[in-house]
Amino acid sequence: MNPEDFLTEAESVRIWRQFFDRVHTLTRRLPQAERDDIRLEIASHLSDSVEQQDSSNETDRLRLAIGKLGDPEEFVRPMVADRLLTVGGRSMNPRAIAVAVYYSLYGGIRTTVLAIVVGLGYALSFTFAAMALGKILFPGHVGLFLNDDGPFILGGTLHPEAVTPEVLGWWIVPLATMTSIILYVGLSKALRLLKTTRSPPSL
């Protein structure tokens, strides 16, 4: 949507472009089609609001409409998160998932708590994957170690001689690998728990 098509004052056009520069910055991680969709949706809301304002001054009407819409940082991030969650859940791309979880932290208390839980779940998934690789590279230092004087150690230790012999042996490689895969796939499918349908605020 070109602002010159419905705005006549140079100051109004400048304010419009400045506002959508912020929107562009917030949506830069999305595919072009998704960025265009969000921009068009917000522009439609904003142009309708400009027409509804009572002021005779176009620039004042635009400022009032933007004030009602709010800061892009407050409502665009959740919109971006929803789209990234869709992309991440479909492709299971680690980068898309990480960015989606980060953006979800701005979606309210419930979504923030879920995002933290999901983020910790992914961290655990990568920990198990690292454990499987570590066992291959450092077999004597990685595994399940039972300690008579304290809690067991699942993972790695720099001093295996200080604990009892490792009890799982090479079984830890397939077990840790399968656990990592199940966690990763399961969490990726569960990303819909973070997703809610979001639009720009009602004007």
Q: How far apart are CA 12 and CA 116, in angstroms?
A: 41
| Domain boundaries, given as residue ranges, for the chain | 3-108, 122-188
Q: What is the mean pLDDT of the chain?
A: 81
Mean pLDDT of the region 78-107 = 72
Reported pTM: 0.57
Query: Residue 182: is its pLDDT beyond 80?
Result: yes
Residue 172 contacts residue 144 (beta carbons within 8 Å): yes
Residue 118 Cα to chain centre, angstroms: 10
**pLDDT grade, residue 132 (50/70/90)?**
very high
DSSP assignment string, 54-114: --S-HHHHHHHHHHHH--HHHHHHHHHHHHHHHHHHHH--HHHHHHHHHHHTTS-HHHHHH
Task: Give the total residue count for the chain.
Answer: 203
Give percent above pLDDT 90 in the chain. Answer: 21
- CA dihedral defined by 127, 130, 131, 137, rounded to 10 degrees? -160
**pLDDT grade, residue 4 (50/70/90)?**
confident
Identify which has the larger pLDDT, 53 or 38: 38
Residue-level pLDDT at 17 = 92
Residue-level pLDDT at 89 = 65
Query: Residue 128: is its pLDDT beyond 90?
Result: yes
Query: Residue 39: is its pLDDT beyond 80?
Result: yes
**pLDDT grade, residue 127 (50/70/90)?**
very high
> N- to C-terminal Cα distance for the chain?
19
